[in-house]
Chains A and B, each alone.
Chain A
Amino acid sequence: MANPNPHTTRNPFTDVESAAVSVTIEDLSKSFGQVEVLKHISFRVEPGEIFVLMGPSGSGKSVLIKHIVALEKPTAGRVTIDGSDAADQATREKVRIALVFQAGALFNSMSVYDNLALYLREHRIANEAGIREKVMRALQILSLEGAVKKFPSELSGGMKKRVAIARALVMEPQLMLYDEPTSELDPVMGATISEIIATLKDDYHVTSIVVSHDRDLALSISDRVGILMGGELIFLGPPSELRNPKDPRVDDFLNPKIDLKNPRFKKLET
């Protein structure tokens, strides 16, 4: 059922609505030693929006997303969630943020059920019966009921991604972050994951930030797209603008032409 109010996040388990959150990146810079990975990045993600962050490998997308969950500290600038500093423990306790890692980051020593139940148990959100209900509901949303007793090593790549999304979902997040959710998946499974992300937005109005190389995902489900290149934000706008990009760097990134006479790898800096 679609949420009638686009400014609130509807809890998929209790149907209780809470305010959807915004994310603001202000003049963010990050360096590792002498290497500047992010250079003065600024943008804002509106409540309930799907924002897709694209860019070539090594452009700093994953580093940027880690600043939002305070896994990295900025060299300069700051990240705020609804006006509160993302690095503050108080913000992390107030706003429910879930990150779906690129490789899933499932706990290998735990079954799928225990992977999903861990957050609820550790934060004493419900009793064991309540936890079971929430876990099974999340698995049902992602059509994973059959995997409940399996261990991560027994799952396919697509199932791991879906379990990781289900684990994020039981946290009843106001902000969902996805790091390369469709990488290493076949096109059909990639489309399935894109549909899941869009459904979560439509049904629950979770604010979503998706880091991805997947052009189809960006064009079909995003509200806005940002493109990072060499640590700089070179494009910020709706996906419709990506169909005929004006910036040749954006065009080359989205529509790369294979040139066997003058191959790119020979032009790469060593």
Chain B
Amino acid sequence: MTQFTRILEGFGSTLILLIKSMSYLPTLPRQFHRFVEQCYLIGYTTLPIVAILSFFIGSVLALQAGYSMQNFGAKQFIGTLVGLSMARELGPVMVAILLAGRVGSAITAELASMKVYQEIDALETMNIPPARMLVMPRLVAVLVMVPVLTIIADLVGWFGGAIVSKYTTFIAIDPPAYFSALRRFMTFEDVLNGLIKAEAFGFGVVLVCCNIGLNTRGGPREIGASVTRAVVTSLIIILVLDYFVTKALM
């Protein structure tokens, strides 16, 4: 099978999985415990790493911007630059990349090992569709948790930028001035655009990781190969979607 045919097959099976999973949406109230468990795994356990990385991304943005802008007297716009960059681009992309690395890889590993050790076959013989029990609750959970993670990433990033702006000697901008610049040029639409992008990335990552996991064949080596493929495919999807969603939202 050529690489192109494989890509087409992967695209088709992902689409079928999406349709199947969404057809089980009415069963969500019965599976509320699974939805809550996935919210915990996707949201709560990812939160510390999101907070740490956002803080340092906001900090380094402020540092680089301050260093570059001091030469032409534009330091007062550091808050604007950090605020817009975090909300429109870096917050959503960073959350999605963390989801791919942390949550997506775990999903693929779990579903791939269930497939390899015939647990998925066992579900099918019991007339329990894997898309209903294993995929749909994850897709709904990611839609609920990604905006929360992105808003936290934005806020922590802005805060990191404010700290660096105050305590770096060649910047030395007080938080009130920093946040005033941030508010002056930022709109609710900027934050909303970022949230829409994050939703698209998160949903795409979880769907692709589920599909790759469920289509794993072979043994333990193939589980590892599937995890690698899921993470690489997720990163490609994030960056490709980033361009098209950004363009669509402009």
Contacts and interface: CB of A to CB of B under 8 A. Distances in A.
Contact of A107 (B122, B124, B125, B127): B122
Interface SS majority for chain B: helix
Closest 6 CB pairs of A and B: A105-B118, A105-B122, A99-B125, A69-B125, A122-B128, A119-B126
A122 B119 contact: no
Interface residues of B, number: 12
B232 to A, nearest CB: 26
Nearest to A101: B118
Task: Kindly name the residue among B118, B125, B126, B128 whose own CB sees the greatest number of chain A CB atoms within 10 A.
Answer: B125
B133 interface: yes
A234 to B, nearest CB: 28
A262 interface: no
Interface string A95-109: 001110101011110
Contacts of A99: 121-122, 125
Contacts of A123: 127-128
A252 interface: no
Interface in B200-239: none
Task: Kindly name the residue among A101, A105, A171 whose own CB sees the greatest number of chain B CB atoms within 10 A.
Answer: A105
Interface of A: 66, 69-71, 92-93, 97-99, 101, 103, 105-108, 118-119, 122-123, 171
B117 A97 contact: no
Task: Kindly name the residue among B119, B121, B122, B124 whose own CB sees the greatest number of chain A CB atoms within 10 A.
Answer: B122
18 contacts: A71-B124, A92-B127, A93-B127, A97-B125, A99-B121, A99-B122, A101-B121, A103-B117, A105-B119, A105-B121, A107-B114, A107-B122, A108-B117, A118-B128, A119-B126, A119-B128, A122-B128, A123-B127
Nearest to A71: B121
Contacts of B121: 66, 71, 99, 101, 105
